[in-house]
Amino acid sequence: MSRDWNAMAEAGFRAHLRAFIAQNCPEALRHLRLRQPPGVTMPWYKALHAAGMIAPGWPAELGGMALTPERHLVFIEEMEAAGTPWLHDSGVRNLGPAIIAFGTEAQKADYLPKIAAGEQIWCQGYSEPGAGSDLASLRCAGRIEGGTITITGQKIWTTSAHHATHCFCLVRTSSEGPKQNGITFVLVDMATPGITVRPIRNLGGEDDFCEVFFDGVSVGTECILGAVDDGWKVARSLLGFERIWAGSPRRARKALGELEAVVEAAGLGDDGLWQDRLVQAEFDVLDGQDLYRSFADLVSTEGRVGTEVSALKITATEAFQRISEWTLEAAGQGGVEEVVPVPGQPAPAFTWFESRAPAIFSGANEIHRNILARRVLGLGKEAAR
């Protein structure tokens, strides 16, 4: 389907989305608090793809909706309000823009249609046991011989690697010069011999994260995105896109709705303290939406974001945490029992646990404060390239 989504009146666009969701997203998939395996949500993914709605931010000529930042926020708002499921869309959300920016024409033609159609489910192989927030210290090796690159090493905290068909990863192809040099960005089929995936079970009994081991995994050099030894440039671009999505106001906005429901149910609506907190929480969400819009606008107009995107990630994740803490307090829950959520109902303890991780993934907030201090404010030692 090819249409100018931005030319539609906002009311008409919202009505279209609501009707589409009502027709194509079953109630059983609504308001789920836990990420589901791709097989569970794939019918919804396929429905979005068939309607030309799976890639809101991609250019229209590459199968996207080409939404403006304002219209993209409307898209997110309607999807969140309806409780549509979180998709395994790292390929659409993160890798797609990187391929569009750095890929060869052959790579665009090969990967983008398969990503959009849900034929490829991607995971991100960045962090290692000794290279988390300090990602440039990675040691997973990539040896290039002729037309082949052979990968040996380990990745960790790889989200949904046990469900993924493909992995985009960073490997070290040279140790010369600064540590940001000599890193190469590689696209790997998870069915390639030599890959072992081990899920990591968390305190809630879920296994969203995994360890991934590469034991002499060989792929063609045509799977390298960007230039050899210059993968840090691609990675920084992708991290910029990722941090925009990590800084989306959707989590804080959902938490605000939960806070309002819990405050009302607890009979605290007339209490001055809770009135102040509700107003503060609403302002935090609105501030986050405005900041998100400004960075989304940079992506749509310039195709990139700067290091100041760290401010968005900090703002969104800390607002989410703060609101979740107030909700837990209003609910009077001080323990950790019965945190498994019931669809459509507030789950203050679960939300509190859920709010811890976003301040760590996509770079810990402490690292982002260092980035802002050094690269934006010019404080301390000169930052690495």
Q: Is residue 99 part of a domain?
A: no
The domain that holds 199 is classified in CATH as 2.40.110.10
Model confidence at 341: pLDDT above 80: no
- Res 296: pLDDT: 65
Model confidence at 366: pLDDT above 90: no
From 233, 264, 280, the end of a domain falls on 233
Q: Are residues 258 and 369 in the same domain?
A: yes
Secondary structure (3-state) at 289 = helix
Q: Are residues 198 and 303 in the same domain?
A: no
Q: Is residue 252 part of a domain?
A: yes
Q: Is residue 22 part of a domain?
A: yes
The domain that holds 258 is classified in CATH as 1.20.140.10
Q: Is residue 150 part of a domain?
A: yes
- Res 244: pLDDT: 66
- Residue 370 pLDDT class (50, 70, 90 cuts): confident
From 87, 114, 130, the end of a domain falls on 87
Q: Are the C-beta atoms of 197 and 182 separated by less than 8 Å?
A: no
The structure tokens listed for 172 are 């070290």
> Which of 55, 45, 51 has its CA nearest to residue 92?
55
- When pLDDT is averaged across residues 278-304 and rounded to a whole number, the result is 77
From 66, 87, 108, the end of a domain falls on 87
Q: Which residues contact 248 (CB under 8 A, 6 or more apart)?
A: 76, 292, 316
Lowest mean pLDDT among 196-205, 214-223, 274-283, 338-347: 338-347
CA 199 from chain center: how many Å? 19
- Res 310: pLDDT: 79
Q: Which of 69-73, 205-209, 221-225, 312-316 has the highest mean pLDDT?
A: 221-225
Q: Is residue 320 part of a domain?
A: yes
Model confidence at 201: pLDDT above 80: yes
Q: Are residues 161 and 220 in the same domain?
A: yes
Higher pLDDT, 301 or 369: 369
Q: Is residue 240 part of a domain?
A: no
Secondary structure (3-state) at 350 = helix
- Res 383: pLDDT: 44
- Res 297: pLDDT: 63
- Res 311: pLDDT: 82
Lowest mean pLDDT among 92-101, 135-144, 244-253: 244-253
Q: Is residue 112 part of a domain?
A: no
Model confidence at 222: pLDDT above 90: yes
Model confidence at 73: pLDDT above 90: no
Q: Are residues 266 and 227 in the same domain?
A: no
Measured CA to CA, the distance from residue 335 to residue 173 in angstroms comes to 48
Q: Are the C-beta atoms of 358 and 317 separated by less than 8 Å?
A: yes
Q: Are residues 137 and 229 in the same domain?
A: yes
Model confidence at 384: pLDDT above 60: no
Higher pLDDT, 209 or 215: 215
Q: Is residue 105 part of a domain?
A: no
Domain hosting 133: range is 122-233
- When pLDDT is averaged across residues 87-103 and rounded to a whole number, the result is 89
Higher pLDDT, 343 or 108: 108
Given phi > 0 = left and psi -120 to 50 = alpha, else beta, which region is 6? alpha
Q: Are residues 191 and 297 in the same domain?
A: no
Q: Are residues 229 and 260 in the same domain?
A: no
Lowest mean pLDDT among 10-19, 101-110, 221-230, 323-332: 323-332
- Res 88: pLDDT: 79
- When pLDDT is averaged across residues 95-115 and rounded to a whole number, the result is 95
Element (H, E) at 244: helix 231-246
Q: Are residues 224 and 309 in the same domain?
A: no
Domain tally, the chain? 3
Cα dist from 131 to 117, 203, 221, whole Å:
33, 23, 24
Higher pLDDT, 22 or 341: 22
Q: Are residues 137 and 203 in the same domain?
A: yes
Q: Are residues 300 and 365 in the same domain?
A: yes
Q: Are residues 31 and 150 in the same domain?
A: no
- Residue 372 pLDDT class (50, 70, 90 cuts): confident
Q: Are residues 187 and 133 in the same domain?
A: yes
Model confidence at 136: pLDDT above 50: yes
